[in-house]
Amino acid sequence: MKMKTTLAALLASAAMVSAANACEITLRSSDTHPEGYPTVVAVEKMGEMLEERSDGRICVEVFHSAQLGEEKDTIEQTQLGVIDLNRVSLGPFNNIIEETKVFSLPYIFRGTDHMHAVVDGEVGEKILNEFQNHQLVGLAYYDGGSRSFYNSQKPITSIEDMEGLKFRVMQSDVFVDMVDALGANATPLPYGEVYSSIQTGVIDGAENNWPSFESSGHYEVAGYYTLDQHLIVPEVLVMSQASWNKLSPEDQELVRQAAKDSVPIMRELWAEREKASEEKVRAAGVEIIEDIDKQPFMDAMNAVYDKHVTSEKLKSLVDEIRAVE
């Protein structure tokens, strides 16, 4: 049995090597999420399109489950050209690319349709263009659902219940200030450290969308999920400027187009996964607090806007986002 497994594994890796050999260029892509997660599948699909359209010359290899590192580190690696492609939340870019903050502001989007209209339009294009000033090429936006708070301690039914709780946030000052403004304490941590930090009581909880809450297993250690939906943070697929510069203009166009064509695929996968993850979490017995007055949460966010939306550039971007129907 063992022999058979080993042989099968050898044959499989031999097949992979020969497939890899056919590719003149293999773009290594990073993702923190596990196999089968919508972002991972979408980049794989992008790779298939690219391979087909380049007659097998350009391939994409997706390293899922944070195999290449946590987001903050992989962003640096992508800027350096060590990693070619990276699918990340916009959150970890906030401290590097100021303009990305506008998409990370609490309650900036009125819902998914509004977010889609914004990222598909002029503002979306403007923010993608900002990446080129930071050794990166912005290729496409993916969905990140809406993020809500979960914790291991108690049901949060109002903003008062947030008082004193310790929440992990993505590594961005916007999110630290967001949690502070709600009367809780923020701990910026890499995604991969959240599960054990809740389990050991280092933090009380975190915040995320249904698919991440489910796939990370956080729901196993944080039994209360309050749907305050404070954030809708789009995700991005970026490429290293160094890797980009190695491609001919024609190949650059192929990459850009394949990335764009993966967006509708991703959106469909996302909608399905949101439902499936919600069902799984509910079936596991997590207490879901849905009936919550969001207004006090929204009002508290004025402090975050006052602190982070200070330049004329960001102010006008916020106005433009709000004006999109």
Please report, as ranges, the residues that interact with ligand GTR according to CB under 6 A.
32, 71, 88-89, 91, 144, 170, 191, 208-209, 212, 235
Label residue 76 exposed, middle or buried (CB < 10 Å: 0-12, 13-18, 19+): middle
Q: Kindly tell me which of 47 and 144 has the beta carbon lying closer to ligand GTR.
A: 144
Closest distance between ligand GTR and the C-beta of residue 1, in Å? Answer: 38
Closest distance between ligand GTR and the C-beta of residue 51, in Å? Answer: 25
Please give the single-letter amino acid code of residue 104. S
Q: Kindly tell me which of 50 and 194 has the beta carbon lying closer to ligand GTR.
A: 194
Q: Kindly tell me which of 171 and 243 has the beta carbon lying closer to ligand GTR.
A: 171
Closest by CA to 214, choosing from 7, 59, 67, 37, is: 37
Q: Kindly tell me which of 196 and 311 has the beta carbon lying closer to ligand GTR.
A: 196
Q: Which residue is nearest to ligand GTR (CB)?
A: 89
Q: Kindly tell me which of 144 and 205 has the beta carbon lying closer to ligand GTR.
A: 144
Closest distance between ligand GTR and the C-beta of residue 193, in Å? Answer: 10
Which tokens sit at 168?
Answer: 């992990």
Q: Kindly tell me which of 212 and 243 has the beta carbon lying closer to ligand GTR.
A: 212
Return the exposure string of 18-32: e unless at least 16 CB atoms fall within 10 Å of the residue's CB, then b: eeeeebebbbbbbbb
- The alpha carbon dihedral of 287, 285, 269, 95 has a sign of positive
| Gap between the Cα atoms of 298 and 275, Å rounded | 26
Q: Kindly tell me which of 191 and 244 has the beta carbon lying closer to ligand GTR.
A: 191
Closest distance between ligand GTR and the C-beta of residue 104, in Å? Answer: 11
Label residue 298 exposed, middle or buried (CB < 10 Å: 0-12, 13-18, 19+): middle
Closest distance between ligand GTR and the C-beta of residue 27, in Å? Answer: 19
Contact 150, 208 (CB under 8 A): yes
Contact 196, 168 (CB under 8 A): no
Closest distance between ligand GTR and the C-beta of residue 226, in Å? Answer: 16
Helical ranges in 2-92 per DSSP H: 2-22, 38-53, 71-80
Closest by CA to 62, choosing from 50, 72, 54, 53, is: 50
Closest distance between ligand GTR and the C-beta of residue 89, in Å? Answer: 3
Closest distance between ligand GTR and the C-beta of residue 91, in Å? Answer: 6
Q: Kindly tell me which of 56 and 111 has the beta carbon lying closer to ligand GTR.
A: 111
94-89-260 Cα angle (round to 5): 115
Closest by CA to 226, choosing from 169, 155, 301, 274, is: 155
Q: Kindly tell me which of 228 and 235 has the beta carbon lying closer to ligand GTR.
A: 235
Contact 284, 215 (CB under 8 A): no
Closest distance between ligand GTR and the C-beta of residue 46, in Å? Answer: 16
